[in-house]
A and B are shown apart, each in its own frame.
Chain A
Amino acid sequence: MAIVIFSSELQKLTGEEQTHVDAEVFKDIVTEISNQYSALEHDELMKMAVAIDGEIIHTPFLEKVAPSSEVHFLYRISGG
């Protein structure tokens, strides 16, 4: 199962540093964890970027997640 590691900001909503999720694509991870933690809003999570195994993806949706993957949610970065 993929491991989702929560930032210090998200930990305020989850109360936990990390969780394991049985999902193969990013959108299903969001559904899983927003069901698991009621304070996490599905739509807000979908607005965030994600790092899957260190690869930052700005608008994730159908991204594949391996059982050994490490997933981080992060603020979307823009630029100048």
Chain B
Amino acid sequence: MSEAQEFKYIGQRTIRPDGFDKVTGRAAYGADLTLPGMIWGKTLRSPYAHAKILSIDTSKAEAHPDVMSVATFKDFVTLQSESVAGTEGAAGVLDVARNCLADDKVLYHGHAIAAIAARTERAAKDALGLIDVEYELLPPVMDVEDAMMEDSPVLHDDMFTAGYDEKPSKASNIATRVEMKMGDVEAGFAEADIIVEREFRTPTAHQGYIEPHACTVTYDENGQSMVWCCTQGHFDVRTLTAKVLGMELGKLKVIASEIGGGFGGKTVIYQEPVALVLSKKSGRPVKMVMDRDEVFIATGPTSAAKLKAKVGVKKDGTITAMQGWMAYEAGAFKGSPMVPGVMTMFTPYDCPNVLVEGFDVVVNKSKVAAYRAPGAPQAEYAAEMVVNELAEMLGMDPIDLRLKNAAKEGTQTIYGPKLKRVGLVECLEAAKNSPHYQSPLPEGQGRGLASGFWFNIGGQSSVSVNMNPDGTGTIVEGSPDIGGSRASMQMMAAEVLQIEPKNLKPIIADTENLPYSQGTGGSRTTFATGMAVIEASEKVVVQVKERAAAVWNVTAEQVEYADGVARNTAGEDSMTLAEVCKNAEKTGGQISGNANINARGAGPSFAVHICDVAVDKETGKVDVTRYTAIQDAGKAIHPGYVEGQLQGGAVQGIGWALNEEYIFNADGVMENPGFLDYRIPLASDLPMIETITVEVPNAFHPYGVRGVGETGIIPPLGAVGYAVGNAIDRKVEELPCSPPRVLALIQNG
């Protein structure tokens, strides 16, 4: 799809089909399932950041009258170091298992060591104290600088840095080195009139979803085991859990509950295989629900990072060279989002000479998980801060500098292909013309601006559209709805079937009801699952035409279908969709369409954000006074949900830039594992986030969809960071801009 289309339902602001259940409390989340005979599981976690486990004695716990089963790593099957594809990329099964329950080493404060199932939650918690663990303490390695030092304690004796021409002879905390380049950066910098080079740091930050990880499971030795859990990808939960336990996929059913936020953090497993072991050993259903502090200390945050950015520019604003360096914390096991950081860092710019080097580094923190556009916010923050500084040095409007160098159709990317049609220029122009940018900055405040790029992905989606005899239907999809996607599926099916969206009920199938579907992540669901919905609905239309043709003794080609009515072009006959469905039993059976696709052609999305802040010079407290998010959606299927995604991404990015960070003591123990001390923005902290949705269609989607869930979190780090610096006349190189850090900048210069 490349040109504007006329739509009947796409683009409307319909009422979300799941809204009623959610506001009335009827929706069933991860902790809401209770089964007959169910018992409770609880997890013993490491008080140390780095230690060898010399022994685990569970005998006293097992003797407790209320304890029904105990699990340790030894209960998992013997695992090989196998890589399994999933929504969050490939995962090493052995590392996944060792993260669920530690093997011979604990690698972070909060690392799970053992689990107990007991008759009550209280009894399970109390019995954890009966497990004796003998440790040999090791020095913790808490940041990339320490971890990359030659004499640093090594977390994994078998980790040798990949990415060098020759395999290193010594084990290291650096898992991988990646370098991407194009052109000649040295020649590019030689052409430049001004060069700015700076170093930046971003903190460990959590996705901050409100609903803790939770599951209820039953293990059936001979038949069907079941996991009910809150997840972004229940098919991936099935794959990973089955691998860890050595089960056949067909003997494990996973049901996705409603989900209270994920943002990438619920694409992995933690408790599910442990709960199944406890269920298997006790013969009872087992429920496990994390406490809030467990969510913080033991589930994946995003990477803290150290970054360097160097950009050269001519006096006329032409960028001649861009160079980046980054080291991302992976947490206890390899696999940070460093590679997408390398790929995205300078992608908003059409520059012929680019070099970026990245390192994936293990440290004694919980294993990182995806977080909206994983890897991009950190890298693009560094790039955007330097570009803003260059604009200031050139005396040039930061939007004009970006427009002069903006990536567009035909721009060569550092990661391979040239860009197809993209909407960065349109976003920059919309930003420049926005009421916000046109308004003067209130005295004493600071303004920052940043752009952002994310790929978006396609992938596997399975859908069935089943019609009822009264012409209503059910859309059965395999993608958990984490952001209102059910409404979008409804609207796309309605557009094809030409009936009111409310006549189509979208439901999320479990892993037995549909073939594999990738999880909801990568901004893929409205794009990829939407494509599957469109294809399945088109198959319904084909059948409707065939059935009507059979009744009228004409060919299907002689039947037209529009406005929910089949018409005989060779006569006067017509039948509504409902009439065709009502007669379906007499014309060949009920009508349904399905599509199991591997969607390709995801369209990248660009965004531009503008931020104004006021800084209290006496306390260092920063208040965002005005904020505008502009983003290319391709086509906004449901404009209200697109705006919600833009606002949500902006708010999470603002939190990351202003206050959110893990604070560890000298022993590597997290000191702020709760929402009182880990400060995410509240509604009362922020102004209404203004949004502008740009629509430059993605040619590879029937309706032009790009996907909008992730890009919005990228620009806030640079926009807020630069605005704060602008307000206090200082260079902000380290996030978050929390009051103590801002105050120190003000006082120390």
Contacts and interface: CB of A to CB of B under 8 A. Distances in A.
B522 A8 contact: no
Interface string A13-47: 00000000000000000000000000000000001
Given A58-B458, A75-B339, A75-B343, A80 B179 contact: no
Nearest to A60: B600
A7 B87 contact: no
A70 B178 CA distance: 23
B88 interface: yes
Nearest to A8: B181
Contacts of B374: 78-80
B416 A79 contact: no
Interface string B576-601: 00000000000000000000001011
16 contacts: A8-B181, A9-B180, A54-B419, A58-B458, A59-B459, A59-B460, A72-B417, A74-B417, A75-B343, A77-B457, A77-B522, A78-B86, A79-B374, A79-B524, A79-B710, A80-B373
B263 A80 contact: yes
B455 interface: yes
Nearest to B356: A8
Contacts of A55: 420, 600-601, 700
A58 B601 CA distance: 9
Given A57-B458, A79-B88, A79-B374, 20 more contacts: A47-B90, A51-B417, A54-B418, A55-B420, A55-B700, A56-B601, A57-B601, A58-B598, A74-B415, A75-B340, A77-B89, A77-B340, A78-B88, A78-B370, A79-B370, A79-B373, A79-B456, A79-B522, A79-B523, A79-B710
Contacts of B524: 79
A79 B87 contact: yes
How many chain A residues sit at the interface, stated as a range, is 20 to 34
A80 B598 CA distance: 18
A66 interface: no
* Closest 9 pairs between A and B when the two form their complex, measured CB to CB: A79-B522, A80-B264, A72-B416, A80-B370, A78-B89, A51-B417, A79-B521, A74-B416, A57-B600
Contacts of B178: 9
Contact of B165 (A12, A51, A59, A79): A12
Contacts of A7: 180, 415-416
Interface in B158-180: 165, 178-180
Interface string B371-393: 11110000000000000000000
B175 to A, nearest CB: 15
Contacts of A79: 87-88, 264, 370, 373-374, 456-457, 521-524, 710
Given A51-B417, A78-B374, A79-B522, A8 B180 contact: yes
Contacts, number: 98
Nearest to A55: B601
Contact of B457 (A9, A51, A54, A78): A78
A70 B521 CA distance: 28
Interface string B686-718: 000000000000001000000000100000000
Contacts of B602: 56
Contacts of A73: 416
A47 B372 CA distance: 23
Contacts of A76: 89-90
A2 interface: no
A36 to B, nearest CB: 19
B373 A75 contact: no
Interface string A48-74: 000100111111000000000010111
Given A7-B415, A58-B459, A78 B598 contact: no
Contact of A77 (B263, B267, B417, B455): B455
Given A55-B600, A55-B700, A56-B602, A80 B457 contact: no
B420 A78 contact: no
- Between A8, A47, A55, A78, the greatest number of chain B beta carbons within 10 A of the residue's beta carbon is seen for A78
A76 B458 CA distance: 11
B575 interface: no
Contacts of B600: 55-58
A70 B30 CA distance: 46
Contacts of B263: 80
B417 A70 contact: yes
Given A79-B373, A79-B457, A80-B267, A54 B89 contact: no
A5 B182 CA distance: 12
- Between A12, A51, A78, A80, the greatest number of chain B beta carbons within 10 A of the residue's beta carbon is seen for A80
A8 to B, nearest CB: 5
Interface string B176-198: 00111110000000000000000
B179 A9 contact: yes
A47 B339 CA distance: 15
Given A8-B181, A9-B179, A78 B417 contact: no
Contacts of B415: 7, 74-75
Contacts of B87: 78-79
Interface in B590-642: 598, 600-602
A29 to B, nearest CB: 14
A12 B178 CA distance: 12
Interface in B196-241: 207
Contact of B416 (A5, A12, A58): A5
A58 to B, nearest CB: 6
A51 B457 CA distance: 12
A80 B181 CA distance: 26
B417 A80 contact: no
Interface in B380-437: 415-420
A72 B369 CA distance: 28
B180 A78 contact: no
A59 B598 contact: yes
Contacts of B418: 54
Interface string B254-270: 00000000011101000
B459 A80 contact: no
A80 B521 contact: yes
A72 B180 CA distance: 14
A79 to B, nearest CB: 2
Contacts of B264: 79-80
Interface string B75-102: 0000000000111111000000000000
Contacts of B456: 79
A3 B405 CA distance: 28
Contacts of A51: 416-417
A55 B416 CA distance: 11
